[in-house]
Amino acid sequence: MDPSDYEKLGQFYLGREYDLEKKSSAAGNLVLYDSKDLVTHAIVVGMTGSGKTGLCIDLIEEAAIDGVPTIAIDPKGDLTNLMLTFPDLRPEDFRPWINEEDAARKGVTPDEYAKQQADLWRKGLESWGQSGDRIRRLRDAADFAIYTPGSTAGIPVSILRSFAAPSEQLREDTELFRERVSTTATSLLALVGIAADPIKSREHILISTLFSAAWAEGKDLDLEALVGRIQKPPMARIGALDLEKFYPEKDRGELAMRINGLLASPGFGGWLEGEALDVGALYRTPAGKPRVSIFSIAHLSDAERMFFVALLLNEILGWVRMQSGTTSLRAILYMDEILGFFPPVAEPPAKRPLLTLLKQARAFGLGVVLATQNPVDLDYKGLANTGTWLLGRLQTERDKQRVLEGLEGAAAAQSASFDRKSMEELLAGLGNRVFLMNDVHEDGPVVLETRWAMSYLRGPLTRDQIKVLMKGHRPQGAAAPAAQTDRAARADEDQQSREERDAAIDALRKEYAPKVHRAEEKARRAAQIVEREEGQLRGAGLQTAVSAGATILTAIFGRKKVSYSTIDRGTTTARGAARAMEQREDVKRAKENLAQAEQELEELKAKVEEEVARIRAA
């Protein structure tokens, strides 16, 4: 395999088509995923050991090579493996990161095990047409960093920005502003152990009112100031009731004490120091280079995870609304495990901003990718408009039926056809690293085996290992205005280039569709004549020999619908007695016509490839 087979701008090399009967992908076509399709988001489902995380790491690697930045939320710690990329594939590069317990179980020394892992990765990459050169290209394409909220193991994160007044544009959007206020109040109260109902809870109503009043005036409200305002609110009434009747001073004092206790706790100091949650800076360096920002939150408690994820999603939502509209992929938000963050009935603090992103982010080029190994406890209604489903091996029949229900609902929302029986059969045959991909932008589902990851997948890293990886990557502080301008200019330039490329390829697809249609029709008619004449000659059915036709542009466009018909590859039945010598001449002429039609299709393919190469080189 030559790298030119998969190194195509705007297409992500995910693997090869997999034959479930032969249980092999050796002869399969490459699966090149159109990055533009990710604008309508993706969901990845698979049990532990299915290869789900490896597939998602493949996706992030491909995006980075293509210049698309990613923010990745990592509740389990697996995504830190994105930092383990070794272009030279030397045993000594792997040695510090191997799991020595695995070496002991195999009865070899750590050094021997490191050599085995280096050899395994080299051979694995080679089997998928990759090499250390591609790893080097990945490292050069993007800046990788691990952030650890509430910890100094990686780059620490300050949450103070999340209590600052939102931008004027967001404040003018009444619905988004209310949602920002409500989510901030809910997540803060959850952090101090109060499960607050936004309508019934007086704690929630008071804190929401305080944030709303300050932010509406463009004023920041940090936690210290919030404690003071809880004790002495700047308003005399809450709704139709006097403040003291709604929430007496003594009770407000108890709430203030709980939040002050959070502020005073030694562990909370780590939340107030470090880099600000500046989404623009998380997606790109000051020079405009794409970034892969990994938020490792495995060390946090459940309440702390929910608190932080809700704040981060709010910041991303605010950033999204500041971007210009586009149909091309601008950036990715990836969450490695959404169990508990996106349940079907409950409303945890992170769910509302996540739902809003799924509904609105596509208009601004943000692709949301969600993954889970727990398909039952998932809000499939919220995922109804998700365009790409990547389904791996599932653990129970209940899991399978729940996923099929969600997929069927998504197909209905997209006005797409859905064959439940066929899907069920495909899901039943999936194995490790084998996924069923259903992309509403494509002709139909495809089964693929995922390519070998360039990153060394050794499993979750310890905090000490993260410290070693991130040594020297310390908080940079707020970027100077000039740096912010450079970053924005580079981002705009990259996005404009991507939009122009996508538009040119779309135009090319439309231009060649009728030409492909005519060539297909000619080849189809020629194939039918050959089939008929040979059937009459031999008195038996014959499998048609046409191999070109409906998918000649697969290597360029993916599996897009570019034509109005496909070539009939079915068999025919006997059509009567054989004819004499003149019938043989008829067969000869029919085959000559078919060969000519196939040649015209090949020439058309070459012409399209030439045009696409010109677009990519521009």
Q: What's the pLDDT score for residue 234?
A: 94
Of 524, 523, 497, give the one whose Cα is nearest residue 599: 523
- Please determine, for residue 375, whether its predicted confidence score (pLDDT) is greater than 70: yes
Q: What's the pLDDT score for residue 520?
A: 73
- Please determine, for residue 579, whether its predicted confidence score (pLDDT) is greater than 60: no
Average pLDDT over residues 198-208: 93
Q: What's the pLDDT score for residue 417?
A: 77
Distance (Å, whole) CA 497 – CA 500: 5
Q: What's the pLDDT score for residue 596?
A: 84
To the nearest 10 degrees (0 to 180), the angle between helices 52-65 and 132-141 is 70
- Please determine, for residue 548, whether its predicted confidence score (pLDDT) is greater than 70: no
pLDDT band at 18 (very low <50, low <70, confident <90, very high): very high
Q: Are the C-beta atoms of 376 and 399 separated by less than 8 Å?
A: yes
- For the chain, the domains span 34-159+272-474, 185-266, 501-617
Q: Are the C-beta atoms of 165 and 215 separated by less than 8 Å?
A: yes
Q: What's the pLDDT score for residue 529?
A: 84
Q: Catalogue the E-assigned strands of 360-519.
A: 366-372, 388-391, 434-439, 446-450
Q: What's the pLDDT score for residue 541?
A: 40
Q: What's the pLDDT score for residue 482?
A: 56
pLDDT digit string, tens, across residues 209-248: 999 999 999 999 989 999 999 999 999 999 999 999 999 9
pLDDT digit string, tens, across residues 398-424: 999 999 988 888 888 777 778 888 889
Q: What's the pLDDT score for residue 551?
A: 44
- Please determine, for residue 83, whether its predicted confidence score (pLDDT) is greater than 60: yes
Q: What's the pLDDT score for residue 293?
A: 97
pLDDT digit string, tens, across residues 29-58: 899 999 999 999 999 999 999 999 999 999
Question: pTM (2 decimals)?
Answer: 0.81
CATH fold, domain 34-159+272-474, is Rossmann fold (3.40.50)
pLDDT band at 479 (very low <50, low <70, confident <90, very high): low
Of 358, 291, 366, 352, give the one whose Cα is nearest residue 322: 366
Q: Are the C-beta atoms of 207 and 189 separated by less than 8 Å?
A: yes
Q: Of residues 593 and 398, which shows the higher confidence score? A: 398
What is the token pair recorded at 22?
A: 């032969």
Average pLDDT over residues 278-300: 94
pLDDT band at 252 (very low <50, low <70, confident <90, very high): very high
Q: What's the pLDDT score for residue 365?
A: 96
Q: H helices within 232-301, ranges in order?
A: 243-246, 249-264, 279-283
What are the phi and psi torsion angles at 347 (to 5°)? -125, 70
Burial class (CB in 10 A: 0-12, 13-18, 19+), 250: exposed
pLDDT band at 363 (very low <50, low <70, confident <90, very high): very high
pLDDT digit string, tens, across residues 445-473: 999 999 999 999 999 999 999 999 998 76
| Of 290-304, 306-320, 503-517, the least confident | 503-517
Of 340, 430, 353, give the one whose Cα is nearest residue 389: 430
- Please determine, for residue 6, whether its predicted confidence score (pLDDT) is greater than 80: yes
| Of 205-214, 386-395, 462-471, 576-585, the least confident | 576-585
Counting residues of the chain whose pLDDT is more than 90, the rounded percentage is: 56
Give, in degrees to the nearest 5, the angle at Cα 580 between 577 and 585. 115
| Of 163-167, 312-316, 493-497, the least confident | 493-497
Distance (Å, whole) CA 61 – CA 53: 12
* Beta strands 143-147; 434-439: pairing state: unpaired
Of 597, 441, 611, 444, give the one whose Cα is nearest residue 512: 611
pLDDT band at 538 (very low <50, low <70, confident <90, very high): low
On average, the pLDDT of the chain sits at: 86
Distance (Å, whole) CA 216 – CA 214: 6
Average pLDDT over residues 265-282: 88
pLDDT digit string, tens, across residues 105-164: 999 999 999 999 999 999 999 999 999 999 999 999 999 999 999 999 999 998 877 888
